[in-house]
């Protein structure tokens, strides 16, 4: 009778530990959730770093001189200089 009681207590204790391992604070489920969040944040960071590199290059071009400003004006605003002919290609 005493052995059955001890076995029952041990089984309950093991079940509680398993529950805490899988579902409790710092458990496997929470660790996997944090891992997924970390991966998503790392992807966002990589995208933002790439965007920053593009912006840095654009800033450097703008600091270099008028050529970059003229290129942006031509592309974004449709700048046409005097004595230039504008051709629009429709595909």
Q: Which two tokens stand for residue 13?
A: 């204790």
Does 75 score more than 90 pLDDT? no
The phi-psi region of residue 26 (left if phi > 0; otherwise alpha if psi is between -120 and 50; otherwise beta) is left
Average pLDDT, the chain: 85
What is the rounded CA–CA span in Å between residue 87 and residue 90?
10
When pLDDT is averaged across residues 14-26 and rounded to a whole number, the result is 77
Task: Answer yes or no: are the C-beta atoms of 48 and 40 closer than 8 Å.
Answer: no
State residue 17's pLDDT score.
Answer: 80
pTM above 0.85, yes or no: no
State residue 60's pLDDT score.
Answer: 84
């Amino acid at each position: 009778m005493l052995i059955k009681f001890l076995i029952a207590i041990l089984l309950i204790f093991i079940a509680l530990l398993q529950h805490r391992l899988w579902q409790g604070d710092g458990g496997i489920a929470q660790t996997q959730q944090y891992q997924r969040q970390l991966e998503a944040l790392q992807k966002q960071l990589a995208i933002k770093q790439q965007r920053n590199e593009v912006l840095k290059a654009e800033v450097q071009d703008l600091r270099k001189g008028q050529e970059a400003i003229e290129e942006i004006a031509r592309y974004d605003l449709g700048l046409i200089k005097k004595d230039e002919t504008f051709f629009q290609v429709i595909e």
